[in-house]
Amino acid sequence: MRILFNILFFVLFVGKMLAQLSPGDLSNAHKDLEGMSNCTKCHDLGSKVSNAKCLDCHKDIKSRVDRNEGYHASWDVKGKDCAKCHSDHHGRKFDMIRFDENAFEHNLTGYELTGRHKSGWSSKGKKIDCRSCHTPDFVIEPELKKKNETFLGLGQECINCHKDVHQKTLGKDCAKCHNAEEFKPAKKFNHDKSDFPLSGKHKDVACIECHKKETRNGAEFQKFADVPFKSCVECHEDVHKSQLGTNCKECHTAQAFTDQSGLRKFDHSKTHFPLKGKHHNVDCRECHKMDVVTPINIFQDRLGIATNDCEACHKDPHEGKFGGKCVDCHNESGWRKTGDLDKFNHDKTAFALKGKHVAVDCKKCHTSEKMTDPLPFKNCADCHKDYHEKQFAVYNVSPDCNVCHNTDGFIGSIFTIEDHAKTKYKLDGAHLATPCFSCHLKEGDLSSTPPSKNKWKFRQIGERCVDCHKDPHEGQIAEKWYPNKTCDQCHVTSSFRDSKFDHRTTEFKLLGEHAKTACRDCHKPETGFKYGKFDGLPATCSSCHEEEHNRQFEKFGVTDCAKCHGNESWEIKQYDHDKTRFKLDGKHIKVACEACHKEIAQGGKTFVQYKFESFECVVCHK
């Protein structure tokens, strides 16, 4: 019984003490902190409420303050004690979050109220206050969403609070098109910044004409994205039934379908008949009949006409003389302009082009305005100047150039060797291989002013050898051997080295081996006689041949080789030993010459001894 009394006393005593220490009951939000054992969870001992301890519990606010975000990080709150705005111990029903909602500066939160958000009234006349937005339904942070009442955790995108009527087809940035005053119309939307800028009549068309309404996901939906627009026929009926393609803008403009000013932009190159040159400037109506047409057959009246079929539209002024391929001479730049003339078949005219004529520019011959003006062409001289200045004229009339030349070029000639044989100077020998210019291309007169160029000369160029060839024997051979410098007394036309000179007409007739010996072996070049000396040569053997007998047979300073040797060889055939001082008889007749006539050395010279002082037997026999 005593123990029960003590417990009752303690309870009554402590309760009275608590009533004296606590300033009042805590609000419902803090009611779990009632009791003396919990005081230090908010209060520092002997001091006021600590901001740090507040934030230890209100971590969602602390995280925003740390990030310098939200109202509690603004200049209006930063540095203040939490208890200054949120005091407690005023009873369970006390509202700790108290402020003048009408005077609250919402821009301090980081989200400025504009338009309807600020005015407080919706477009439908509904009152908008703080709780219209700050409701758990619009809180996007999971932990804060669990609270019955909070001003934290709202997203700042429109779709966080408002329904996405576009059903995710236009993105999340509603402010690109809408403002805070009205959702309709979308005053910030600029169609010119879209992929389809409005022009012409499109500006007057109501949005609903292109952006149709439908039911999607059980709700009314107006389609703004993925509306096809690359081709006009996506929206408009093709009255031409694909006869003219699908790019309507090549002919039409957005001003009106009946406005045909767009025809200037039509790309005719996509048709089978690309426009070139003057065709670009021709009005469509010049080629296409426009008086009686329908949308189906318009511009279809020229189908199948080829670009080179000029006569389909143009009259042929040449009356078919040059065939029907106008493009061989003309192009689209104008009738006076020539096309690819290389393609023109000149063979259809009376003068077929051959050789060098093929590469000559047309205007070199056709000098008048009209290519069809007649030109003389029977003779080469009708166009070409007589380069030879009438050298070949007979009775002042020159033969045509084609006697010697052809159209492959003036350089070179078709004048043959057979033709040359019919002239006064027939070619033979080395002359047959001599090029024409060696004889007929003469140097110009360098003394004239200005000096004349080299000229081909075919008349009065000489017929004697010395008229073309320099005489190397000038003053070295007597007149009687080549009168009037007639080289053919010795030389032939096959080669200067070959000779037909008859040595029998001289005092030294060629016999035996001499007849086979080359002229130069005897007539050797020497100073003053480059091609050999022919006059004044001695006729003695020793003048050409070396005397090998040490002058044993010399008489009066001359050795007569012919007494022993002939012209065929050096072999001794005509020597008669019986006419010597030692007549051969008996056994001596059969003795070989070298048995008696042996080589000896005398005076530094070796030779065969033929003359002996004594003929006694002991000279040869022991």
Task: Please tell me the predicted confidence (pLDDT) of residue 192.
Answer: 92
Task: Please tell me the predicted confidence (pLDDT) of residue 447.
Answer: 56
What string of H, E and C letters represents the secondary structure of 299-354?
CCCCCCCCCCCHHHCCCCCCCCCCCCCHHHCEECCEEEEECCHHHCCHHHCCCCCC
Q: What is the mean pLDDT of each run of 10 residues along the chain (622 residues)?
A: 52 43 85 88 84 90 91 90 89 88 89 88 83 89 86 89 91 90 89 91 92 93 91 88 82 83 79 88 86 82 86 84 78 73 78 90 85 87 89 90 90 89 91 88 61 76 88 87 87 87 89 90 88 87 88 88 88 86 90 90 90 88 81
How far is 83 from 47, CA to CA, in rounded Å? 13
φ/ψ of 605, rounded to 5, equals: -130, 140
Contacts of residue 395, Cβ cutoff 8 Å, sequence gap at least 6? none
The bridge status of strand 605-608 relative to strand 599-602 is antiparallel
Task: Please tell me the predicted confidence (pLDDT) of residue 19.
Answer: 44
How far is 471 from 485, CA to CA, in rounded Å? 8
Q: Which tokens hold the place of 274?
A: 């690309």
Among the listed residues 80, 87, 74, the one whose alpha carbon sits nearest the alpha carbon of residue 29 = 87
User: Helices (H), strands (E): how many in the chain?
Assistant: 16, 12
Report which secondary-structure segment, H or E, holds 495.
Answer: strand 495-499
Task: Please tell me the predicted confidence (pLDDT) of residue 196.
Answer: 92
Helix (H, G, I), strand (E, B) or coil at 442: strand
